[in-house]
Amino acid sequence: MTQIYNRVALIGLGLIASSMFWGMKRAGLAGEVTGFARSEDTRKRAREIGLCDVVCDSATDAVKDADLVVLCVPVGVMGAVAAEIAPHLKQGAVITDVGSVKAAVIRDVMPHLPDHACFIPGHPLAGTEHSGPDAGFAELYDNRWCLLISDCCENPAEIDRLTKFWEGLGANVEQMDAEHHDLVLGVTSHAPHLIAYTMVGVADDLRRVTDSEVIKYSAAGFRDFTRIAASDPTMWRDVFLNNKEATLEILGRFTEELFALQRAIRTGDGDMLHDYFTRTRAIRRGIIEAGQDTDAPDFGRGGKPVEKD
């Protein structure tokens, strides 16, 4: 049990905040945790399940005397929440967030914060397709990355303290520049979600033709798409609207590659398809060999990728 902050305030009480709360309790990281969510139903549910030591009826009450304030709301409302709480922050408070996009959050939040406060944007790379106060669990961040953007805060001791806090929640912490973060996550998270949303939409259109066969006989790959496409619509709307440039850049490249593959199929260019899939398989194997995905089902005994020819 290592207490890192006396008082932590969670604003927004969904998957990410509730997982932080249970993780803080597991490791004894905070003396007291206050919480606030905009919806009265969410606050009621949080009180019923013991989510937070105190559930407040306003964000301003929740942040009073908090040493750490964590903004766990959709990316599109971070700025409005920051404006509301700013005058009520404790002297020297640290503000962080968990938003999936970083440059837009910094743009929206920073101007509202008083000089005495320190803003350290963050992003835990962990989640599920579930949302709301019941969705959280203490293990969500175990052995996952949490990226911190350090250049908004001039106090290295507070960056160290927040790093220890996330490590206490089980995460591995690294620092990254906001623009770079948005490009990397555009490739690894945002574009894949958009593709999953699209693919499930296409299947839904087809379903009308084939009368439910698409869903009934869906194999594992498509089922994974449906899991991802079940993610919260508000959260993902805000991600795309706030990481516009990187998403459009990646989608442009994606479309070019898709057209090339489409052409190879139409013209019967088997060599092109085989070379392409050989290259992508090597990437996957490289990740496994580097030990970066030990969850992989094709990670064989003795730490070697399983040959499946």
Ligand X SMILES: O=C(O)C(=O)C[C@]1(C(=O)O)C=C[C@@H](O)C=C1
Ligand Y SMILES: NC(=O)c1ccc[n+]([C@@H]2O[C@H](COP(=O)([O-])OP(=O)(O)OC[C@H]3O[C@@H](n4cnc5c(N)ncnc54)[C@H](O)[C@@H]3O)[C@@H](O)[C@H]2O)c1
Q: With binding defined as CB under 6 A, does residue 184 bind ligand X? A: no
Distance (Å, whole) CA 46 – CA 68? 20
Pair 227, 129: CB distance under 8 Å: yes
Q: How far does Cα 243 stand from its chain's mean position?
A: 13
Of the candidate residues 4, 8, 13, 82, the single one contacting ligand Y (CB under 6 A): 13
Nearer to ligand Y, 3 or 39 (CB): 39
Of the candidate residues 10, 69, 75, 109, the single one contacting ligand Y (CB under 6 A): 75
- The listed partner (ligand X, ligand Y, none) that binds 42, CB under 5 to 8 Å by sort, is ligand Y
Is residue 9 helix, strand or coil? strand
Nearer to ligand X, 27 or 228 (CB): 228
Output the smallest distance, CB 198 to ligand X, in A.
Answer: 16
Applying CB under 6 A, the site for ligand X has a residue count of 8
Distance (Å, whole) CA 52 – CA 60? 16
Which segment (62-70, 103-111, 126-134, 244-252) binds ligand X by CB under 6 A?
126-134
Query: How many CA atoms within 13 Å lie on the side-chain side of 77?
Result: 15
Of the candidate residues 30, 35, 106, 131, the single one contacting ligand Y (CB under 6 A): 131
- The listed partner (ligand Y, ligand X, none) that binds 106, CB under 5 to 8 Å by sort, is none
Of the candidate residues 48, 57, 129, 298, the single one contacting ligand X (CB under 6 A): 129
Closest to 38 measured CA to CA, from 4, 1, 3, 85: 85
Q: With binding defined as CB under 6 A, does residue 73 bind ligand Y? A: yes
Output the smallest distance, CB 80 to ligand Y, in A.
Answer: 6
Collect all residues with Cβ–Cβ distance below 8 Å to 143 and sequence separation of at least 6: 170, 171, 172
Binding mask 209-228 for ligand X (x = CB under 6 A): -------------------x
Say which residue the tokens 């496409």 belong to: 229
Binding mask 19-58 for ligand Y (x = CB under 6 A): ------------------xxx--x----------------
Say which residue the tokens 């709307």 belong to: 237
Q: With binding defined as CB under 6 A, does residue 127 bind ligand X? A: yes
Pair 106, 152: CB distance under 8 Å: yes
Q: With binding defined as CB under 6 A, does residue 98 bind ligand Y? A: yes
The Cα angle at residue 131 between residues 73 and 205, in degrees rounded to 5: 115
Is residue 217 helix, strand or coil? coil
Distance (Å, whole) CA 62 – CA 40? 15
Closest to 153 measured CA to CA, from 120, 108, 115: 120
Which segment (67-75, 88-96, 180-188, 198-206) binds ligand Y by CB under 6 A?
67-75
Q: How far does Cα 52 stand from its chain's mean position?
A: 21
> How far apart, in Å, are the Cα atoms of 177 and each of 29, 148, 292?
27, 8, 22
DSSP one-letter code for 95: E
- The listed partner (ligand Y, ligand X, none) that binds 189, CB under 5 to 8 Å by sort, is ligand X
> Which residues, numbered 197-226, are part of the site for ligand Y (CB under 6 A)?
none
* Contacting residues toward ligand Y, per CB under 6 A: 11-17, 37-39, 42, 72-75, 77, 81, 98-100, 124, 127, 131-132, 135, 232, 235, 239
* Contacting residues toward ligand X, per CB under 6 A: 100, 125-129, 189, 228
